[in-house]
Chains A and B, each alone.
Chain A
Amino acid sequence: MTFTGEIYPGGDRPGGAGAQPHEADGEMGRWGDTVDDRGRPEDAGFTSSPHRPIPPSDGRGPGSDERRGETRRSRLSASLRRIRALLRKELRQIWRDPRTKRLVLAAPVVQLLLFGYAVTTDVHDVTTIVVDHDRSQASRSLQDALQAGGYFRIVQTTEDSRALARALDHGDATIGLDIPRGFEADLAAGRGARVQVLVDGTNSNTGTVAQGYVARIVQQYGLDYARAHGAALAPAVDLRTRAWYNPGLLSRVYNVPAVVGALITLMCLLLTSLAVVRERELGTLEQLMVSPLTATELILGKTVPVMLIGYIDLTLVTTMALLWFGVPFQGSVLLLFAAAFVYILSALGLGLFISTISRTQQEAFMGMFLVMMPIIILSGFMYPVRSMPLFFQRLTLLNPLRHFLEVVRAIFLKGAGVAELWPQLLAMSLSAIVLLSLSIWRFRNSIR
């Protein structure tokens, strides 16, 4: 069996690597079927003469690729080409991994639905039990007034005071209204009537808001009653409030834009740390370190795809917020994207940091949760920063997400521009610089 240079003259055969190797294989016979032909299969691995002739090399000496023209410009272009190679590989892997794809596309939808519908602090349809000892026209019209706004829904009307306690205990009702005997008589006599309101304070937020609504409704009722019955009791000051930027005081309008921030944080922390740690687990990180790829190139190749994903999610959430949830968008899209860039840098820094303290994907996951929780809680995402104790309010100033959420909400709802938002943008830039440099420094050391 001879097979030498004539088929691959100089190795520069036209036609590329497409079809011919297969023919060549066929001609020479493949390994499995020709062991007998070669004899001594038990010797496999210990014969020094190559049985399978090998076509000549392409004529270049070993190691000749990297050492041509080492000028600064060629070094830069070499560097860019390596980054591009890594980017292509990363995007290919992300695209091929159904889990990542699900995460990137499904997470925004799920979070939007949750924060658009489920997580709501709006008070409406509050279950109410009424104990009506009076059974009068006045007590019935008070109940009508209570239900009229849609805020309260009377689930039971009874004369038994014990039923009220039971309903609150069992959670059948959040509000209990007790109308005493003589309610109408007192009103008619102008003596001033009393009603008792009991509130289930377990959910302090709903409780407080509902309490306020009841008080206002009852008060208004009293005024209307007096007016209808000829007594002109105009209040000294008539307070009329109007909420700007979110006239309906819908929590959706407040929450939905903020999903952008939570989502970008999640993606950057998770995908960056996993992208690095996965290679460490596979052992490929060491190979990348042996290759001419530098730490900086590695970091860029790992973070740029994540940034891209961050922007995909930003676009997705913004579009859904506008088209589906009808959240107003007053500001500049360009500013939103620019602010997101600064914030993403911080988040990528944190993701890299997690990758330096994790050896396995599991550890990276745990590290992510450890970092994610305080960032979310101290951001004003769910709980307004202003209702926190002063110490924690100050602490939130170190949290880039807090600033980013302020920026996002201000752009969405108030149409704020750089003139109003520069302090937040400055804070975010500072945190991006600090977090990124710290992480890159740690990352360089961790892969050594």
Chain B
Amino acid sequence: MSDAALVVSGLSRHFGDVVAVRDLSFEVRRGELFGIVGPDGAGKTTTLRMLAGVLPPTSGDALLGGVSVARAPERAKPRLAYMPQRFGLYDDLTVRENLDFYADLYRVPRADRPARLERLYHFSNLGEFEGRLAGQLSGGMKQKLSLSCCLIHHPEVLLLDEPTFGVDPISRRDLWLILHQMVAEGVTIVLSTSYMDEAERCDRVAMLHEGSVLALDTPARLQAGLDGTLLSIRVDRPRAARAALQGEAGVRSAALFGDSVHVLLDAGVDPEWPARTLVAAGVPPTSVEPVDASLEDVFIDLVARSGAVPAGGAHA
């Protein structure tokens, strides 16, 4: 057995005629923070549910520490934790009772519990709410309690479906602190996100689009792999500017980034050219600067090259 915590090979899932996930293959190393990035509908949740053994794959398999999640889920289950996007807490149970319930289900030895609870309370700050009903917690607190429920049995692999979705910035930060700590302790984490800035914090990223992996590498290498020139163009009417540039020869992609337009030019195209074109089109730019590629730029370029037109940007 290699140092792979998770080996995914040829994983596919069809829902009727719809192919939600197409022939996914990748390996996640032990102690790695692995991101699955893509817009809504890319197949992130379907992938994670298959990895968790909740959804049987149409074809292919995933081995978790050598155990097939499709064929021997009962042996894989104790070693993983899965936090769905909407993790259900029992609102009519207290924080402590929720945690105890999962500790009981996974048979966490009684002697270990005080120490584990203490740790979880420590980084979730839930200790002082121990006796409060889960239904009366704030959204961020609930998310932290959900994560704590997933961590109480010390899983080898943690599967998280958009863990920071709808969470306030402070709680988001808390959650990331917990995740980094878990990784430092050797836990393998596979998480999905539609936030590209979060994807940049992962060790490696799989970019998922319409059920297929477009690219898989470290964020740095993905960014470096973007050939051509990336320009950030500030302009009063970014939509009009994008319309004027999109589809022109030499323009690989043009996407809105707030009040500016990111334009990716083929290598060798004159970087002065877009400004001239925009002036001619009646949308003169206020500034044109070359910028380093973000993962979002990479994603948009990959989608453009795969033939599909991204809808607005990857933040969808």
Contact = CB atoms under 8 A, between A and B. Distances in A.
Interface of A: 8, 11-13, 16-17, 20-22, 24-25, 30-32, 35, 41-42, 44-48, 50-52, 54-55, 57-58, 60-67, 78, 81-82, 84-86, 88-89, 92-93, 96-97, 279, 282-294, 448
A64 to B, nearest CB: 7
Interface string B115-132: 111110111010110000
A292 B106 contact: yes
A25 to B, nearest CB: 7
Contacts of A61: 154, 186
Interface stretch (B177-185, B226-234, B238-246, B286-294): B177-185
Interface in B183-206: 185-187, 197-198, 201
B105 A291 contact: yes
A384 B177 CA distance: 69
Contacts of A57: 119, 154, 185
- The residue in A8, A13, A50 that gathers the most chain B C-beta atoms within 10 A of its C-beta is A50
Given A65-B108, A287-B87, A25 B56 contact: no
Contacts of A283: 84, 86-88
Given A46-B176, A283-B87, 8 more contacts: A45-B176, A48-B201, A60-B112, A62-B186, A65-B106, A65-B153, A89-B101, A283-B84
Contacts, number: 176
5 contacts: A44-B172, A54-B177, A62-B185, A63-B156, A85-B101
A81 B97 contact: no
A234 to B, nearest CB: 76
Interface in B9-55: 52-54
Nearest to B52: A290
A12 B109 CA distance: 14
Contacts of A22: 127-128
B259 interface: no
A31 B177 CA distance: 13
Contacts of B186: 61-62
Nearest to A86: B105
B77 A54 contact: no
A92 B105 contact: no
A108 B86 CA distance: 38
Contacts of A50: 177, 180-181
B275 to A, nearest CB: 32
A81 B108 CA distance: 11
A328 B188 CA distance: 68
Interface of B: 52-54, 56, 74, 77-82, 84, 86-93, 97, 101-102, 104-109, 112-119, 121-123, 125, 127-128, 149, 153-156, 164, 169-170, 172-177, 180-181, 185-187, 197-198, 201
Given A21-B118, A54-B123, A287 B88 contact: yes
A92 B176 CA distance: 33
Given A31-B174, A45-B173, A82 B107 contact: yes
B247 to A, nearest CB: 35
A82 B114 contact: no
A404 to B, nearest CB: 33
Nearest to B112: A58
B170 A21 contact: no
Contact of B155 (A20, A24, A62): A62
Contacts of A286: 54, 84, 88
Contacts of B173: 44-47
A60 B91 CA distance: 31
A293 B105 contact: yes
A327 to B, nearest CB: 38
Given A45-B169, A78-B107, A289 B54 contact: yes
A293 B78 CA distance: 9
Contacts of A25: 122, 125, 127-128
Contact of B187 (A62, A89, A97): A62
Nearest to A96: B92
Nearest to B100: A85
Contacts of B187: 62
A35 B154 CA distance: 30
Contacts of B116: 58
Nearest to A293: B105
Contact of A81 (B89, B107, B117): B107
B31 to A, nearest CB: 10
Nearest to B31: A62
A82 to B, nearest CB: 6
B149 to A, nearest CB: 8
Given A92-B97, A286-B54, A448-B56, A291 B86 contact: no
Nearest to A42: B169
Contacts of A284: 88-90
A288 B185 CA distance: 26
B90 A93 contact: yes
B58 to A, nearest CB: 14
A62 B128 contact: no
Contact of B125 (A31, A63, A290, A292): A31
Nearest to A81: B107
A16 B87 contact: no
A409 B118 CA distance: 58
A291 B74 CA distance: 9
Contacts of A44: 169-170, 172-173
Contacts of A97: 92
Given A66-B107, A81-B107, A97-B92, A58 B127 contact: no
A17 B121 contact: yes
Contacts of A82: 104-105, 107
A271 to B, nearest CB: 15
B107 A54 contact: no
Contacts of A279: 88
A65 B78 contact: yes
A11 B112 CA distance: 9
A17 B201 contact: no
Given A62-B155, A92-B97, A46 B125 contact: no
Contact of A20 (B74, B109, B118, B123): B118
B162 to A, nearest CB: 14
A299 B106 CA distance: 18
B115 A58 contact: yes
